[in-house]
Copies of this chain bind each other. A is one copy, B any other.
Amino acid sequence: MGRDTGRVAFLGPEGTFTEEALLASAAHGDLAPFPYPSIQDVLIAVAEGEAELGLVPIENSLEGSVVLTLDLLSSGFDELEIAREITHPIRHQLIARRELQLEEITKVVSIPIAYGQCRTFIREHLANVEHEATDSTAEAVRRISRVDRPWVAIGTRLAADLYECAVVRDDIEDSLENRTRFVYVSRTSAPQDLDASYKTSIVCGIAADQPGALLLILSEFAHRFVNLTKIESRPSKQGLGQYIFFLDLEGRRSDPPIDQALKCLACKLPWVKVLGSYPT
């Protein structure tokens, strides 16, 4: 399926939050959604032309950056660009094979992160109920769908539909602030959308003997009135004392202030890479 119109790769299996975000955004147009088992597999599928677009998580409001995505994009996949970002609310559903009472439940199946994000509900209603861990929210729902026991999974509404299960309780997460930012990657720059507001993501390295480098980086943007919406340092894998910085800037790569700042940085730093400039 889908090879005629092209494919959009997403972090699977089917029924994950990534697929839920994909379907909610509809930014992939006619492309046929196709699940891949890991973030790396999604990026490879796009890089090798098996898919036109790929959708991967990049940051969660409660858990922080998805370091794997940042590291893969910064250290390879030079043919890929971030083409668009979308933000999707993370809502956890309590799912069972058939309607049941909370008192009947004997096991909760979920990924550890989701379980941790529903502590208040679990303490109140499912204290002392056994917890079984899985690899993905979708896998948790698949698991309980196949066993005729009073077990529940924590997962997406999409997975509940997919495996023909019932949502026993809506929105059991502790925090309504739980959101994940996903990015679409593609091999080619998207045509410019003149009405949209844009963000530009860059990553750069500094040398071990450049202690003022961060200030230098920020000054290039600040004195051109370019706002930052994110900054994060990570130790470089090249050695102790070397860092790389991820920055998100408000604006387009082609805006003269951003373009000039990037040219100045390219002269002063060991390396600078633009991960993408995209509508937000």
Contacts and interface: CB of A to CB of B under 8 A. Distances in A.
A38 B112 CA distance: 12
A201 to B, nearest CB: 13
Interface residues of A, number: 35
Q: How many copies does the complex hold?
A: 2
B234 A231 contact: no
A232 B235 contact: no
A215 interface: yes
Interface stretch (A43-51, A62-70, A190-198, A253-261): A62-70
Interface string A123-147: 0000000010111000000000000
Contact of A234 (B64, B222, B234): B64
Contacts of A116: 38
A106 interface: no
A188 interface: no
Given A131-B135, A233-B230, A215 B219 contact: yes
Interface string A86-117: 00000000000000000000000001100110
B228 A231 contact: no
Interface string A160-201: 000000000000000001000000000000000000000000
Interface string A235-250: 1010000000100000
A236 to B, nearest CB: 10
A218 B214 contact: yes
Contacts of A235: 61
Closest 10 CB pairs of A and B: A133-B133, A64-B67, A215-B222, A231-B233, A232-B232, A133-B134, A215-B218, A112-B135, A211-B227, A133-B135
Given A38-B116, A64-B67, 6 more contacts: A63-B67, A133-B133, A177-B237, A212-B222, A214-B228, A215-B222
